[in-house]
Amino acid sequence: MNKAKHQIAEVTNLEGKMGSLSELIVGKDIFIGVSQEKALRGHWVAKMASRSIVFALANPVPEILPEDAKRSGAWVYGSGRSDFENQINNSLVFPGIFRAISQHRIKVITYEMKIKAAEAIAASIEGQPSRNYIIPDSLDRDVALKIAI
């Protein structure tokens, strides 16, 4: 592992577990992939906890496709692709952050501001979130305004 992966492991693998993805995913609630296409197999998803969450964020081809993840038992699926539901993409936050910087003449973006932006995105879900709608659409103009405020 490189330095960045060690830093991530320090906060995500507090027990220091080692092994293959197929071994370590058993019973887990969530998979967040930022690796490479087809890195996650359906039969591994089937071994995750019930109502598991899969964020397959590799682009342009995610670690697992939504139909394979859901067929294998994933309750919620999100990816970085705009042609799949629950697109998880940093482009959702930029218009609002840039608007806030401009309007309020912000010179430094703090951790607290990032948390507030995430909370504004979460509050932008119209109605109740569902397994197919956990994050607003990246083209939703109201999100930028809520973030800027």
CA distances from 74 to 42, 82, 89, 133 (A): 9, 19, 20, 14
Return the DSSP state at 105. T
Overall average pLDDT of the 10-36 stretch: 93
Overall average pLDDT of the 55-84 stretch: 96
pLDDT tens column, 14-24: 999 999 999 99
Domain ranges of the chain: 3-79, 90-148
Global pTM?
0.85
77/55 Cα distance (integer angstroms): 6
Sheet of strand 52-56: strand arrangement: 30-33, 52-56, 74-79
118/1 Cα distance (integer angstroms): 29
Overall average pLDDT of the 119-147 stretch: 89
Confidence of residue 12 (pLDDT cuts 50, 70, 90): confident
Q: In this model, does residue 102 exceed pLDDT 90?
A: yes
| 87 or 128, greater pLDDT | 87
Strands (DSSP E) found in 34-125: 52-56, 74-79
Instruction: Please give the backbone phi and psi of residue 77, each rounded to the nearest 5 degrees, phi first.
Output: -130, 135
Q: In this model, does residue 39 exceed pLDDT 90?
A: yes
pLDDT for position 116: 94
Overall average pLDDT of the 35-54 stretch: 96
